[in-house]
Each structure stands twice: as C-alpha cells, then as structure tokens.
Amino acid sequence: MSTTAVERKNIVTFKGTPVTITGNEIKVGDQAPDTTLVSNGLEAVNLSSFKGKTCIIVAVPSLDTPVCDLEAKRFNTEAAKLGNNTVVLLVSRDLPFAQARWCGANKAENIQSLSDYNSREFGNAWGVNWKEANLLTRAVFIVDTEGVIRYIQIVPEITTEPNYEDVLENLKKSHRKIMYRDPLIKSEEKTDVDFHTYDVKSSLANIRKRPRRLRQSEGIRKLVRESSLSVEDLVMPLFVCDGKNLRVAIPSLPGIYRLSMDLIVKECEELYQSGIPGVVLFGLIPEALKDKTARESYNSQGLYQKTIRLIKQNIPDLVLITDVAMDPYSSDGHDGIVDNVGRIVNDETLEILAKMTLTQAEAGADIVAPSDMMDGRVGYIRDALDEQGFTNVGILAYSAKYASSFYGPFRDALGSTPKKGDKKTYQMDPANAREAVREIELDIEEGADMVMVKPGLSYLDVLKTICEMSKVPVAVYNVSGEYAMVKAAAQNGWLNEKEAVLEILVSFKRAGANFILTYHAKDAAEWLRH
C-alpha cells in the first residue's frame, strides 16, 4: 500500500469552517494542526500505534473515582468483544486529556505527546453538549495499516441519562455501521457538527476472510492456481501447398504461412522440438483439381497424402491429425455434395468422407478429424476404418461446429469459401447450446474418441457444458478469426500480445478443454518455456 497521504476535503465542517484530513493530520481552515482543538485531539495520539485499528472516542462523566474506574473496566471488556482491532478512548469533562483512558483488547502502548488541553475542551471540539448529556459516543476514526486516517465519523447523541448499557449498545451499533457501511453513502445524521460521512478506502482490520492473502506473491498464486496451461496442451494448424521451398504469407493470418512439403517437414521438426505434441494438417488444392465430388480428396498419391507420409517418416512421434472434409477439394466450396437445386445432400457425402479417411489412415494419420458436420459421419467413418484394419486410428469429431463468422481467414488460406450460399444447413446455429450436447452425445455413441467445440472464445459456455458432461476428451479450436483479432490489436499497440494470448488459452483450460488447436501454438510454446 502506498504511504502517500490521501486528502479528503470538506467532509467535515467545524463551526462553519471546512476541516481537511490529510494523512494523519487534521486542519480546520488554513490553521495548522497544533492550533485547533480538533487536531490537537488526534495529533496527541501517535497514530502509528493504531495502524489497522478502529478507534472510538467516548465521552463519560469522570474517570477520577472508584466507581468510574469500575465502569472503565466494563468498557474495556465490552470493547474487546468488538474485535481485537478496536480501541476505545474514554474522555472526561473534568480531566486533562493526558489522563484519558484507552480501552480494548489491544491497548495502545505508545501514546505520546498528549496535549495539556482539558478533555472537556476536546469533547467540546467534537460537539459534545455536556449540559444535555453525560454519556456520549462522539467520534470514530479508522487508521489504515500505514497509519493514515481513512475514515472519520461523528456519532450522534446516545442518551440524556448516564446509562452505560446504552452507551455500550450504541458503541456496538456504531461499530457495525462502520464495518458494513456502503461506500460513498452520505449520512443524514444531524449533530452539532455539520458533517457528511464517506467511506474512504478504509482498511477494515477485523476482516477475517481475505482472498487477497492467496494473491500476494507469485509463489502463492502458483500453489493455488486452479487451471494451468502447458505446451503439451497445444496443437498447431499447418497449411501445405504444392511446390518446393515455398513460404507464402497469408495476409489475414499474420505470422502464418502456406508451406511446401519440404518446408512443412522442417516446421514440424521445430514444433516437435519446442514441446508441441501434435499438428493438424490442411491442404491447399489447386482449382484445376477441384470438382463437385472432391475426387482429389481420396487420391492416395495426392499432395495431402504425400505430405502425411513425409511428416510421419521424419517425425514419427509427432501426433498428426488430418482433416476430413470436402470443402478444400470441392468446386462448390461446401463440405458435402451439392445437388441440382443447391441442397447439401447428407448420405451420399458419407461415402466420399470414408474414402478420403481411408487414404489418410493408409498414409499414416494418427487421428482423423471429420469437420464436415454431416449426420452419421462418425459411425460411417468408424466402420470403414475398422473394416480395413485401421482400428488404432482415432477419431476427433468436430461435434459442436458452429456456423461462425470467425472462419474468414482460414477460408482465405485454403480458398474454400462456398461459391454459393452458406453452411448454415449443416453447421450449428450460434444461438444454440443444448443442440451441442445432442451432437456430442451422438458422436460419442457413434464411436468418436475425442470431440471438439469450434470456435472457442465465443463459445466458452458451450465448451464448459461439454467438458462437464463428456466421457471422452474434449478439444477446442481457437480459430483463425480469433487469432487475427488479437494480432491486429497487438500490431496497433492496443494490447500486449503475449499476455492476451496466454489469457485466452488458459480460459479454454479453465473451461475444461483437454487440448487446444491454435495458431498461437508456436509463440505460446516459446513464452511458456521462458
């Protein structure tokens, strides 16, 4: 906490003159603290002795009698019940201030420089009307842990009868009011002093439950961290293109490139060495090889299948996830066959998906990932794989894939934007969450080994729901549009890229994701290492 004095002006007026509280000093108008009764009253106390305490001033008849000594002991007992961080000052109308009594469980041991002013005058300064009342609780102030006054309040008259029980009850009520006061609420209480009460960032010393204790150092924060992010949680998407020694920038995906086969193998080696356990591969297919039934997708000697073989030959332990969908290969740009009236036909598409899956499995894919969102495709693909002996090839189903506006940069990278219409008849409505649960349940029933939610950021609620109900691992795709937004903001200096990326990625883990497909993977791996 800073020790800089905090100034609160005009929260008190004394006889029409504004009172200013600055740190542990009180001024009336322009007068120095040692020239006013009010400031003498508080300046007389070494506030460093009361750091983090609530101090309550109580005016009583006389302390210079055996009876009042007994009553003072009662005050001491009752004040202790208010908490170990409360002290009570008893002042009398007929004793010097130096003989005032501090009571409470934690007595102040260091009261210094007590003034020679009569405590009656001190009471007068706080508006005590001695003729009308003998027992009055007149003022409360709170001293923070740096010894700075943060809160001050004048308490109204209690009773016109010298009844200690009433005084103590009012003391308790005043204490509760201070401890639980709403911030910046103006007091309507009327006293001899024109006073407006404000709660000023007070450090309330009797707060027992303080969540900030578990945030005070990086070591403690690590010990109690509920979610963690590591490089092993990341999967990097890659784009392969035809040619040799080609590294083609994707304008809408800054820092991401289309790579020829030779360079994509080098990229995979670097990713694996950085600790990233897997990649998901996408292929850029020349327009000349696209047709309505995506025949190139199941060409065993095609670019995509050759790249799978080359990666597995060179980095066999890298987990290779392959994309099962028609759109990169289709002249229509859709994930299914388009009939003569423009409808996406479901069942006829399944056969094509099975064919491309088998060529990918034969080439060495560890996991196939159908992203098409056709009904029944997981079961159809599982049966095809098992019938051909690929029982160890896993299926990561894009189960809850939404018709999102965040896919734009990805479609730029692959040239897979639909020529006509959109994908809303097979990808999910962004407004639906229960539907995602149904899709997940169906895919698991059909044999999915893992399921996915895509996109991520706008669907954290869906992701959390799926993670709580799924009996198989759950992935999330931090998609191209989400990546591009962060990159654009970082390039303009609007946010810290590293901090924003790691915050986004840990949010997926907090929601329950087992692993994350993200274009940030390579950078994040570097940041996490250091």
Give the active site residues.
401, 454
Nearest residue to 264 (alpha-carbon basis) of 328, 313, 228 = 313
Whole-number Å distance between alpha carbons of 478 and 233: 12
Which residues lie across from 438 on neighbouring strands? none
- Residue 313 φ/ψ, nearest 5 degrees: -70, -35
Would you mind telling me the total number of residues written for the chain in this entry?
Answer: 530
- Residue 142 φ/ψ, nearest 5 degrees: -115, 130
SS3 230: coil
* Spatial CB neighbours of 166, under 8 Å, sequence gap ≥ 6: 135, 158, 159
Lookup result for tokens 């290969």: 329
Tokens of 453: 């939610």
Whole-number Å distance between alpha carbons of 170 and 138: 11
DSSP state letters, 496-526 = -HHHHHHHHHHHHHHHT-SEEEETTHHHHHH
Reported as type and span, the H/E element at residue 322 is: strand 319-324
Across 292-315, b (16+ Cβ under 10 Å) vs e yields ebbbbbbbeebbbbbbbebbbeeb
Assess contact for 57 and 63: CB atoms under 8 A: no
Whole-number Å distance between alpha carbons of 387 and 365: 17
- Residue 95 φ/ψ, nearest 5 degrees: -125, 150
Strand duo 101-103 + 86-92: pairing = antiparallel
Whole-number Å distance between alpha carbons of 297 and 313: 21
Assess contact for 142 and 60: CB atoms under 8 A: no
Amino acid at 427: Q
Nearest residue to 280 (alpha-carbon basis) of 398, 449, 444, 456 = 398
Lookup result for tokens 């698991």: 444
Whole-number Å distance between alpha carbons of 64 and 241: 97
Whole-number Å distance between alpha carbons of 453 and 460: 9
Whole-number Å distance between alpha carbons of 50 and 28: 23
Nearest residue to 240 (alpha-carbon basis) of 266, 274, 276 = 266
